[in-house]
Structure 1
């Protein structure tokens, strides 16, 4: 009797009413502004921590079942295109795709499709092989109308630990749960559209506003926690609960900056400076900050070749007391490929585009 009463209580709390073997409900933030959304396919994947991908060649089966991925070793997509299509997420397929990028130290992952478990596995596996091959620069060049919120959070947290730059290039878009991916990047360079709207549960059983709100309460809290730890404004979570799903609120250039979704990630910048100060001292960190500001003002221009940037950066070093024998590996141009490290290196990841400084309508309805 006691056992039955306990089970009934748990069911009333929503913790034990799910049928055995029934998949957990997923939360969607998928662009429905152009019509009904298509079901986002996402087969459950065995749990594997990102660091575990570095320890073994045996990876659980995973598929890109809601999008397509391409691997390029070049920044210039106008001249060189998007690279070779990645046909498989197996260990050896990813190794083969990234090996040509090892000499340049740059991999650009172009992804077009939905955010789901396959996408999360994609960014984790590309980062793992980039680590093994010592490819320091990783760029996610994305176009997505959204997908699963939980998988966007999983992918974004993974990217935050593996130092990605994210592009939404001119003509591309990042809508709905894709916006959460932006929060995970070290740098975010945006020339396309970024838009958000309300979350909803796949196969929701809600019959009232109260029930629908209860379904989304937990995931809304997860979104807020995720945004906070990645340096983005929690107001985004509020907007994702208020803008109707059939509408799309496009974020202006100013809003993207204000919400912490474009440019350098403030949390990562602070973390980098804390680590540098710990290793090399406050004076070293202060001088390096001054060098970075001079580099961005005097050297950094979109489309400049690496060798030109490197030469300009090196010419600035004596002005700020570099190279400094105290921390030779942390001197501004100490990167093994002769490129500035830290914030300056991240600034180099901006695509060769002239960003549109104009603002967009705060709310649009897709025709």
Structure 2
């Protein structure tokens, strides 16, 4: 006896049979193997700006609280801690490889009296670097070390880790140096953008992000994948006062190439000098704390510093000398707010230096001026100006 099913057209029968048997449901897409870590490292080379697959976040742990810090290691990078700004004469301090609570605390203890720490980092931007800056800032907070300088030399790394590290830097008050002989390329530019103040003497370069886990087979697919990453980069740049045009410029530079930013571009895009976003916040706080006149003089100093001191190819030593000489014209360091005055870190280092020095002999007033040239020279060399070697051959906050 014929059934309704028998009277259906052949194609309709096939469709109905598929529905009944649940055999025509959506198939799972084929699983593409993730690249091996060695392959990622090889593709990363010395200067790639890469984005890695987003993994489940590890157990949240705030290193600002407690002492039982999770294990963390530096990979593809080296770090050292110094309590001095004068790297030209005094070097970069002691190596820091142990990122445990006690390891970081021991490294920063000598800097507690000075009130300043300089973290020198050479290497890739990765999870180890993120842990490094986060942990050094956490101990600096506990020890009330208010002046923090990140002295960086990096060819780039992973964008996700750069954003995490940049957010940690932006929340903890760092000055970023790219000194002569150093460079800041690719993902390092995101780190540069996070600083309260940026002092640049080395090259800064950008290029496209490449996602190593991409399955794209066309430019349209590749662009769709990268738009999500660039969206995060633009949001990050915007909250740090950097022009989002920097992200657009990245898109136009092939990953195998590098576009160096000029001094004018660095200023125009908010990557050099005072961070615009932080500056707005500082102005509001300083107005309440130090008064309108302080803020007016500070603004005037900053404008003239940018115009007179920040000339192309000027080394940090020259930049510092120019700034220290210029700030005297504006009444800095301010008696009411010395710690908030421009380049106040040099005053802190100088004060610590004098506390450790032997008393300077006082020349009797009856010594004839110019009569004893050797005595006059000796007394003058012991004064404040000569106490810091070449006024500290390095940058400023």
Scaled to the shorter chain, the TM-score interval is 0.7 to 0.9
Matched, 1:332 2:337: yes
Instruction: Tell me the C-alpha RMSD between the 2 structures.
Output: 4.5
Q: Structure 2 residue aligned with 1:316, among 331, 337, 349?
A: 331
- Residue in 2 aligned with 1:127? 137
* Contact 1:167/1:351 (<8 A) preserved: no
Residue pairs, 1:325-364, within 5 angstroms:
331-333=336-338, 335=339, 341=340, 343-345=342-344, 352=393
Q: Distance in 2 between matches of 1:295 and 1:236?
A: 24
- Residue in 2 aligned with 1:82? 92
Q: Structure 1 residue aligned with 2:280, among 270, 280, 284?
A: 270
1:140 alignment partner, SS class = strand
- Residue in 2 aligned with 1:220? 230
1:195 alignment partner, SS class = strand
Who wins on radius of gyration, i.e. which is larger? Answer: 2
Matched, 1:179 2:189: yes
Residue pairs, 1:276-287, within 5 angstroms:
276-279=286-289, 282=292, 285-286=295-296
Residue pairs, 1:203-242, within 5 angstroms:
203-242=213-252
Residue pairs, 1:113-262, within 5 angstroms:
113-262=123-272
User: Cα 1:353–1:292, aligned 2, differ >3 Å: closer, same or farther?
Assistant: closer
* Contact 2:99/2:135 (<8 A) preserved: yes
Question: How far 1:277 moved relative to its partner?
Answer: 3.0
* Contact 1:186/1:346 (<8 A) preserved: no
Q: Distance in 1 between matches of 2:47 and 2:144?
A: 44
- Residue in 1 aligned with 2:77? 67
- Residue in 1 aligned with 2:12? none
1:71 alignment partner, SS class = strand
- Residue in 2 aligned with 1:106? 116
> So what's the TM-score if we normalise by structure 1?
0.73
* Contact 1:138/1:165 (<8 A) preserved: yes
Q: Distance in 1 between matches of 2:199 and 2:47?
A: 28
Instruction: Name stretches of at least 5 consecutive residues in structure 1 with no aligned partner.
Output: 324-330, 336-340, 355-367
Residue pairs, 1:293-308, within 5 angstroms:
302-303=319-320
More helix by share: 2
User: Cα 1:8–1:242, aligned 2, differ >3 Å: closer, same or farther?
Assistant: farther
* Contact 1:231/1:267 (<8 A) preserved: yes
Please list the CA deviations of residues 69-93 of structure 1 after superposition, one character each: whole Å capped at 9, or x if unmatched: 1111111111111111112111000
User: Cα 1:192–1:271, aligned 2, differ >3 Å: closer, same or farther?
Assistant: same
> So what's the TM-score if we normalise by structure 2?
0.68
User: Cα 1:34–1:248, aligned 2, differ >3 Å: closer, same or farther?
Assistant: same
Q: State how many pairs are aligned.
A: 321
Please list the CA deviations of residues 105-150 of structure 1 after superposition, one character each: whole Å capped at 9, or x if unmatched: 1111111111011101110000010111111111111111111111
Question: How far 1:190 moved relative to its partner?
Answer: 0.7
2:270 alignment partner, SS class = coil
Question: How far 1:275 moved relative to its partner?
Answer: 2.0
Q: Distance in 1 between matches of 2:106 and 2:195?
A: 25
Question: How far 1:287 moved relative to its partner?
Answer: 6.0
Bigger mean CA deviation after superposition, 177-186 or 283-292: 283-292
